Every structure is written in structure tokens, then in C-alpha cells.
Chains A and B, each alone.
Chain A
């Protein structure tokens, strides 16, 4: 299977899989090694990878992807209520429903391109949000959100006698099951839900590499580059953009289904346009059109959300403890607006810096550092081995 990819992609795929699976170990020192956040990394990674197939390849900027996330979540929770607490049927329904929904919305919105397309998707997303919030209350349970209850049918599951709502599982493996261990005073948590999401993320990442390297992906990139030329080259661009839209919508639905699988409730606020906006931020921050960028962007944003929002005044005082009293207070006064409730201010600053200085996102930064390191290395060994410098320069070109 993997041999069909380019050599570089094979390496990328292996490194990616190792990094993702070792996530609980790598992220623990950064205070991010707990299940809830790890799950979010993986799930929003899937979302961003899917969004990148639309935005990164075709350049169509959709403000409506939160709607697919919501559709996925509602579908999955309904499966939990009616059929079984096993996550498989729920996730399958989430993908199918969001795909159908994307087909409908895409069919209408893709008649336009550029800013008009973006506005149309925004309108659709807001419409879906309002529907979920009010009109469709029988399906979505309005403002309260769709929740599980003891009275739910769950026809496939054995009769529940425990008196509490059963937890979501994968053939008996409960999502919130966590195996904890302490090594060198560090707490490591290996959570079932995270590993389910992680394996799906790896699979979805592989799928996105395949799409990037396929003739279909080439056509999508051609649409972004010069749609007019493509039309006069005998290509009907509409089905291509629609297919990309549906694929990325299904990715979003899958992410929504997984979110509901980890925490079985679905609310309308998940469909709000600000949520769509944060998906766009993830992709742009990480690097639009790159393979790894979106996952990186999703990780950074979710990290900021989880970690910076928890820093409060007391924590800051502890940080600046070594400074003399008045300076400590001054520093706390300066930093405080950027943490806690103000975490988005920090995110905004980081985002601005990245967009201004690294238009290609964090991936461009990584590439620049990589090239710089390569240059230093080459300079160091230039006299002794000129040939190796040549080959490495060649490989960095590719």
C-alpha cells in the first residue's frame, strides 16, 4: 500500500504515524498529555486535513465547514440513542450524512467562485445553525443540545440495568478508558479514545496524501492556479470542485462524529461560523496546501485554547516570583490580558506574525529552518566533501 507513494511521502507517512502514536509521551512534558486535549488534537487534525483538500488545493474558501461538523455530531449521537453505543455505526452515519449535506450545499454554492462562494457558504452555515437552534428542535433538541438519556432505545445493545448511561465504546473498548503510568515523576496517560482518533487521523492523512498525488489532485491545483485555462483545456471544473467539497465535508463530518464519540452530546454552537473561522485559522497557520501544515495548525490552536486559557493571575505571580515586587506586578499586569480569557489575543498576535512573516504558515518556517541548518552543515563540511553538499542541495530542491 505504502509503496505506491513517493519515497519522501513514505518517510513522511512513517514519521507522521510515529509522532501521532507517541503523542501522549511527546506532549506530556508540555502539560498537554491528558486525554481530552489529545483527542482534540487528533480530531481537529482530521478536520484541518479535510479542509485543506478543499481550500489548500482548489483555493475555494468555505466558511461553512462547521455545519458539516455539526451534522456529523448530531448523526452520531442519534445512533447512540437509537442503535448502539458502539461508535462504528455512528461514525459511518456521520460521514454519510455530512457527505449528502455537502453535496446539496456544494451543488448550490459552487455555482459561484471567489468571495461569492465564501459568502454563500457562510449564509448556509448560519442557516444550518439557526435551524439546529430553533426549527429543528425535535431532531437537535435546540439550545440544550442533543444528549443521551436512560430511556433511549439502543436496540442493538443489551438491556441496561446499571442505572447509568453506558459509555461509548468500540466493541467493548470504552472511549474514556485510560491507562496511566508514571515514569520519572511524569504522568503519562494512554487513552482509548485518543488512539481510536489517532488511527483514523493516520488513515485520513494517508488518504489526503493519495489525493494530493493523484491526477484528481493535480486538477484541483490547476483550478486554484488558473480555472479559465482549465475550462479551455476541456475540463469541466464543476464536478471537480464539488467532489473536493464533498470529500472535505465528509472529513468534517467524520471529525464531528468522533467529537460526539468522545463526549456524547451535540450542540448547535458547534455549527456557528466562528467555528468555521477557527478551522480556516488552523489551516492558514499551519500552511495552506501543505500536507503536514493543517495538523500542525490544529495542534497549535487547540494547545493555545487549552493551555493559555488556564493561566490565571496566581500562575503568573508564580512565574514572575523572582522579580522584585513592583516589577512582578508590572509583568503580571502586562501579560494578564493575553492569557486566561484573553488567550485569543495571543493567538491573534501569533497568527498575525505568521501571516506577515511566514505567508506559507508554520511549515514555511520549518522549511526555512531546515534549509538554514542544511546550509550551515554544508558550509562546515564544504572543503572535505563537496559532493555530499551537492547531493543534499539537490534533495532540498525537490
Chain B
């Protein structure tokens, strides 16, 4: 049978593979090469070696955006997971209307980052002006927390769904046995429920880390990096290096930054792979 299918490879594999080469492979390799070049368009590229990387690694704004992104990722990961897990716990304890709550909390996930960013920009700016505080675009700290609120609002529902699925898959016998043995609710939570949903916790943690790290749309729509690039995250910093600067050197710098960014994301994914693998062995 394998041989029969093999003959049909132009039908089965070729369309996807061709599109993949156009849409991913070729631009990726070209991007890798261009990170060593000085260029304004692809045809006018001249090789400059590691100059772009040296610039990218000594660029203060890039490091600032790295710091901002890291702080943001840590804060949002902690907040989203703790809140989502608490909500999931409450919703699995059979309170009235838990289905409606689940529906409502998940809803923001379906709205795109740009629209979300805009909605919250209007709302937060109105609240801030009522409190007589500076607007979002004028204060980086407020921008930071605004982004955190926005991302929490968007992603708590998503993580909650994963946690609910994890909590519901715990066998009822475990909980009953613990209760009969006289365990308090807290003990049940920490000794039975949390160890049993560890796989969900791993998934959610990494999802929130990568989502936070790669955040672009929300950042662009909510603060746009204002004031003076202070609330700029890495993805937006790369974008601005590419498209809002004129001069022959900037595109090369941007490409080098994006390769560094890409390596960081790959590193996070490798750690994730290892974490998931080691857990599989334990089971």
C-alpha cells in the first residue's frame, strides 16, 4: 500500500510543499542570509558580515524592549495562570450557571488583537482621565499594566478551558478516597488536584510564555510603543526598525534583530519540549 501512495506524491504533497517553500522556506533562508547584509531592497544587498549583529546587540532600545518583554512575560504568565486556575477550580465545583460563565470568560479570545487593543485603549484612557492620571500613551508604567490587563482579559478564558478539561479528567475515586481519609479541601487541592493537572499547567505556562514573548498586535494597538519607545516590546521594536526608519542600514539591523528574536523563541520551545518529554516518562 505504501508504494501505491508513494506514486501519488505530486498530488498529495506537492501543493502544500510548494506553497510552504514560497510562504516559509525561501523567505526564511533569505532572511537568514540578509541578516549579514546591508540592504534596502532584496536585489541591492551587499555582504557586511557580523556588523548588523554587533549593532543589534549594542542597541540600547533593543535591550530595553528585551527587558520590557521579559518583565511583561513573567507578570502575565503568573497572573493569567493563577487567575485562570482559580476560576477553573470554582467553575468545576458545580456553582450555578457555570456554563454561562465559561462562555463569557472565553469570549474575548475570539476577538483579534488589534480590535481588543483599541477597545481597551478607549476604556482605559477614559478611566485614567476620570482619575486625573496621564493617558496610556504618556506613561510607560501605565502602558505596561494596561497591556497586562488586556492580555489577562483575553487569555484567562483560554487557559481556564484547558484547566477545566484537566480538572474534569481527574478520576472521581481519587477525590472520594481523599475525602474519606479525612483530607481538608486545601489538602485535596495541593495533594490531589494540582499534581494531577500538572500536564495542563505545563501546557498553559508555555502557551502564555510564548504568547507574551511574541506579542505584537495588542502592543501596537494599545500603546504603539509610546512614550518614545518606552513601552515597546521586542516584536514591535523589530517592526519599527524595519519600517519606520529611513536609511540603508536599518533593514539589515532589523533582520539581525529578528534572527536573535527567533533564536530566543526557539530556545523557549526547546525547554518546553524537554519539560513535556520528561513528564511523559514519569507517567
A binds B: no
